[in-house]
Amino acid sequence: MNQKRLRRTFLEAIHSIKDYIDQHPLEIKTIEELIHKSHSQIGINLLHQGFRQLYGSRIKEYEIRKRLEAAALLLQNDDLTMQEITSQCGYSSQSSFVRAFKDVHGITPGQWRNQHVPLLLQQSVEIHVPY
């Protein structure tokens, strides 16, 4: 296999793994499972190195960021408790979830919910003013 084809194969594998993470942010997978999902023969070291070069972060950091972005969307659902969201995002403790969320978003999940849910409720309520 020539070098360009080899490089293209590895790039496709890395893009495939990123796409999988983007499409399944709440799934927690090992690096080996991600490689298997990409149907490639890329090595772990090459994957780590290539991912960081292409996307500017480590795979696990990217996964966590995507998971916490999904958490922000889940927080819009007022029916879900903080513990349910914590669990869906793969955290066993609410305090570690809050810490990770704050690292990514700059505010706690509760603050985020308080800032965003009232806005969503305002947008969904129609106000009828008589003329």
**Is residue 85 a part of any domain in this protein?**
yes
Collapsing DSSP states into helix, strand and coil, what is residue 43?
A: coil
Mean pLDDT by 10-residue block, N- to C-terminus, for the chain (131 residues)? 66 93 94 88 91 94 96 90 95 96 96 77 48 44
50 plus 66 within the same structural domain = no
**Is residue 8 a part of any domain in this protein?**
yes
- Give the model's pLDDT for residue 125: 45
72 plus 52 within the same structural domain = no
40 vs 3, 21, 23, 63, 81, CA distance in Å? 16, 16, 18, 19, 39
